[in-house]
Structure 1
Amino acid sequence: MFNYTFQWRQALQKLPLLLDGALVTLQIALMSMAMGIALAVVLAVARNARSRWASAPATAWVEVSRNTPALFQIYMAHFGLGSFGIHLSPYLALLAGITFNNAGYLAETFRGALRAIPGTQLRAARSLGMPSIQAFRLIIMPQMFRIAFLPTTNQMVWAILMTSLGVTVGMNIDLAGVTQDINVRSFRTFEIFAIAAVIYYLIAKSVTLGARLLASRLFRY
C-alpha cells in the first residue's frame, strides 16, 4: 500500500543549498560554451579547409565528440588522463568533457552556417582590398553567428543538463551533486530530486526564452 508521507517543508529548507549548486552549474555551462564556441570556430574553418593536415584532425574531433557518449568523454578527462599522470579535479574534468562535446557539436553547426553564406561575399571583400582574416572576422563571422544563434542556444541548454553527469566523477558542488548529497543525508528522495528537476527546468526555459527575446531584438531585419 502507498504510505509515503511527503515532507515538502523539510525539502524546501534545503533550497538555498540547491540554488548555490545551480550557480555552479551555470558557471560550468557558460565557461564550457565560451571555450566550446572558440574551439568550434577553429574546427569549422579547419573542416572547410582544402588541406588534409587541417581538416583531418578537426574531423576526428567532431566524429569522436558526436558519436561517443558525453559520459565517456568526461570519464576520459577524469580517469583516462590520470593514466598518463594528468590528474584533473572533478570540476575541471567535467568542464573539459563538456567543452570537448560542445566544440564538436557547434563545429558542425558553424560549418553549416558557413556553407549557407554565399562565397561571393568573401570575394567581394577581397576585391576591395580587405585581408582574408579581416574579411572573415568582419563579414563572414557575424553572419555565421546570426544563422547559428538559435542552434547554439539549444547547445547551451544541453550543456546545462550535461553538468549533471559530474556526479559520476565525484562532483558534489553543482546542482546534481548537491542534490545527491542532500538526498543521502535526508532520505527525502522524491522531494529533493523534484525540486532540483524544477530548478533545471526553469534554468533551461529561461535560457531558451531569453535567447528568443534577444534574437527578436538583434535580428529584426
Structure 2
Amino acid sequence: MNYTFHWQPVLRALPDIMQGALVTLQIAVLSMLIGVVLAVVLAVAGKSRFASVRFAAATWIEVARNTPALLQIYMAYFGLGSLGIHMGSFAALLAGITFNNAGYMAETFRGGLRAIPGTQMRAARSLGMGPVQGFRLIIFPQLMRVSFYPMTNQMVWSILLTSLGVVVGLNSDLTGVTQDFNVKTFRTFEFFVAAAVLYYALAKIVIIASRLLAWRLFRY
C-alpha cells in the first residue's frame, strides 16, 4: 500500500464541512418535527371508524416502511416533477425523509396508544374534557413518554438519511459538501473519513441530548 495521506485539504475545508453538517442537522430536525405531527395524525386515523380513512393511513404506513427511502426521495424529486409539482433538492429530500419518518413513527405511536389504558380517556371525559382536549392533555403526554426513545432512534436515522440528498443534486449538506471537495482534490478517503466522523458525532450528540432530556422530563 503506497497511498499517502494528506489531511491539510480537509483542515482547510473544515469550515465548509461544518456548515454542511449544520444543514444536515437542519433537515433532520425539520423532518422529525413535521413527521411527528403527521405520525400522530396517521396513528389516530388508523383507529378511525371510517374505512377510507383507515385505508389511507395504512397505505401511507405500508409504503413508507416497505419501500427504500431512496425511492421515496426520488419520487418526491422526479415523480412529482413529472406531475407538474417541482421541488428543489432541499425540499425533495425533506419531503422524502418526512414521509419515511411519519410512516415509521406512526407505528411507534400506534403501539404507544395501545399501551395507554382506555380508562384514561374515560376519566378525562368524566372530568368534562372533550375528545380533543382529553387527547391533548391526557393521552398525548403519555404517548410521548412511551415513544420517546424510539423517536430518538428515528432522529438518528433521519440524520443518516440526509446523505441521500446527493442523488437529487443537493450539495449544501454534509455529504454534498464532502463530495464537492472530493471532486476538486481527489482526496476521497480523507474527506469521507471526516464526514463519517461528523455523522457519528451528530448521532452521539442526539443520543446524549435525548438522555438528558428524558432525565429532565421523565424523572417522576
Q: TM-score range by the shorter chain?
A: over 0.9
Q: 1:178-205: CA deviations, max 9, x gaps?
A: 0000000000000000001000000000
2:161 matched residue in structure 1: 162
- Residues of 2 paired with 1:156 and 1:128: CA distance? 36
Aligned: 1:190 with 2:189: yes
- Residues of 2 paired with 1:10 and 1:78: CA distance? 33
Per the TM alignment, residue 87 of structure 1 is displaced from its structure 2 partner at its CA by 1.1
Per the TM alignment, residue 53 of structure 1 is displaced from its structure 2 partner at its CA by 2.1
- Residues of 1 paired with 2:9 and 2:182: CA distance? 12
Per the TM alignment, residue 82 of structure 1 is displaced from its structure 2 partner at its CA by 1.0
* TM-score under structure 1 length normalisation: 0.98
Q: 1:129-166: CA deviations, max 9, x gaps?
A: 21111001000000000100010011000001000000
1:4 matched residue in structure 2: 3
Q: Which runs of 4+ in 1 moved over 4 A?
A: none
Taking the TM superposition and a 5 Å limit, the aligned residue runs for 1:51-200 are: 51-200=50-199
- Residues of 2 paired with 1:88 and 1:49: CA distance? 32
- Residues of 2 paired with 1:71 and 1:10: CA distance? 30
- Residues of 2 paired with 1:11 and 1:131: CA distance? 58
Per the TM alignment, residue 212 of structure 1 is displaced from its structure 2 partner at its CA by 0.9
Per the TM alignment, residue 47 of structure 1 is displaced from its structure 2 partner at its CA by 0.6
- Is 4-13 or 164-173 further displaced after alignment? 4-13
Which amino acid counterpart does residue 131 of structure 1 have in structure 2? G
Aligned: 1:17 with 2:16: yes
Per the TM alignment, residue 12 of structure 1 is displaced from its structure 2 partner at its CA by 1.5
- Residues of 2 paired with 1:106 and 1:171: CA distance? 26
Q: 1:100-134: CA deviations, max 9, x gaps?
A: 00000010011110000000010111122211110
Q: 1:3-36: CA deviations, max 9, x gaps?
A: 1110012221111110000010011111111100
Gaps of 5+ in 1: none
Question: What percentage of aligned pairs have identical amino acids?
Answer: 66
- Residues of 2 paired with 1:218 and 1:31: CA distance? 22
Which amino acid counterpart does residue 205 of structure 1 have in structure 2? K
Alignment coverage as a number of residue pairs: 220
Gaps of 5+ in 2: none
- Is 39-48 or 211-220 further displaced after alignment? 211-220
RMSD: 0.7
- Residues of 1 paired with 2:13 and 2:81: CA distance? 35
